[in-house]
Structure 1
């Protein structure tokens, strides 16, 4: 199946007045699998956008992300502040399917510029929050004697360390498989060490390597933080 052509036909049939449509995700890349769906970002002039919907075409899931120009800016603004922007990646790395007035190509180029600029840096308080959370997880790991609890603690620790590395290096964070992909791009050696440490804990019950790698990352950003940490409640 020609997935780009299929996505173009689907977008044109469902949204004939669309200002632009972009195919994102891994569908048009070497990372496509038998379970990859079609992620299609559509720009409309007004209602019913913004909305998100999942449909199906010949057994293939189709994820529709429909926006106006204004709603796209609101959503990407929130995503950038959160240091994770699926919309920017869809626009900047995707394939333009429809483009009535050049808007699709313009917004794609703008997204690539914003992606290259990276997410905002961590503030001093945000870095302290990360250090405090990671310190607590390492203490939990050290004190756990239940094999099941160790696995759950290790899961949180793995994700927290990965996100800390990306945040400190001003790299875009993500979830699931994309979190690992972004971490491998930013720091392949530490990514491999974390995976080996996590597998060793899960398979052998030995937390030593995961603890060592996580402590090394924590030390690089200021080290442990417990006593002296304080946050006032929001007003």
Structure 2
């Protein structure tokens, strides 16, 4: 399969007036698998963008992310504030398929710079929220006497620890396979231990290693937080 050819054919057939298009994701990298879809960001001058659509070409699933320049910037800003931006990663790490006036390459270069700058740092409030979550999950792990509940708690703990490592290290957070890839890059040793601890919970019902790894990560950022934690409701929900 030639992902660039397929993506370019989709853009040419579906969007003859597109201003630019970028093939992102893992489709054009060594991380591509036989089941990988193609993520294509298409820039249009107006309606019907913005929208997202899944289609297929030559038997390959294609995810289309259609934007105007304005909607792209709004979505990228919103994602950046959440410290997770699939859109910036698709554009910054992707291949320019179509570029009528230089906008595609400018967008790719700008996305690369924004990715290098990293996400907004955690505020003290955000950090306390993460510490509280991990503390609560560790208490649940210690108190679990149902082996099935233990697996679900371990699953949430695995993700929460991974995200905390990335966020406190100034890295972009992510979901699924990309969360693992970014954690491996940021802290390979803890990543290996965390995965081993999780597997021991799932395969043997033994939470000891997962508890130790999670507690160690929590200690790096200030330790447990439970009693005394408080958050007021948003202003719009208070009477």
Where does the alignment leave 5 or more consecutive residues of structure 1 unmatched?
none
In the alignment, the residues of structure 1 paired with residue 138 and residue 106 of structure 2 have an alpha-carbon distance, to the nearest angstrom, of: 46
CA contact (8 A) 2:6 2:58 kept: no
Q: CA deviation at 1:57?
A: 1.3
Residue 123 of structure 2 is aligned to residue 87 of structure 1: no
Residue 4 of structure 2 is aligned to residue 11 of structure 1: no
SS at match of 1:35: coil
In the alignment, the residues of structure 2 paired with residue 98 and residue 59 of structure 1 have an alpha-carbon distance, to the nearest angstrom, of: 22
**Which residue of structure 1 lines up, in the alignment, with residue 137 of structure 2?**
137
**Which residue of structure 2 lines up, in the alignment, with residue 200 of structure 1?**
200
**Which residue of structure 2 lines up, in the alignment, with residue 225 of structure 1?**
225
Post-superposition CA distance 1:193-219 (Å, at most 9, x none): 000000011111110000000000000
- RMSD between aligned alpha carbons? 0.6
Q: CA deviation at 1:10?
A: 1.3
SS at match of 1:46: coil
Q: TM-score, normalised by structure 2?
A: 0.97
Q: CA deviation at 1:2?
A: 2.0
**Runs of 4+ off more than 2 Å:** none
Question: Aligned residues, how many?
Answer: 235
**Which residue of structure 2 lines up, in the alignment, with residue 182 of structure 1?**
182
Post-superposition CA distance 1:154-193 (Å, at most 9, x none): 0000000000011101101111111000000110000000
SS at match of 1:121: coil
Post-superposition CA distance 1:121-172 (Å, at most 9, x none): 0000110010011100000000111100100000000000000011101101
Q: CA deviation at 1:114?
A: 0.2
In the alignment, the residues of structure 2 paired with residue 6 and residue 167 of structure 1 have an alpha-carbon distance, to the nearest angstrom, of: 36
Residue 205 of structure 2 is aligned to residue 214 of structure 1: no
Where does the alignment leave 5 or more consecutive residues of structure 2 unmatched?
none
In the alignment, the residues of structure 2 paired with residue 228 and residue 2 of structure 1 have an alpha-carbon distance, to the nearest angstrom, of: 57
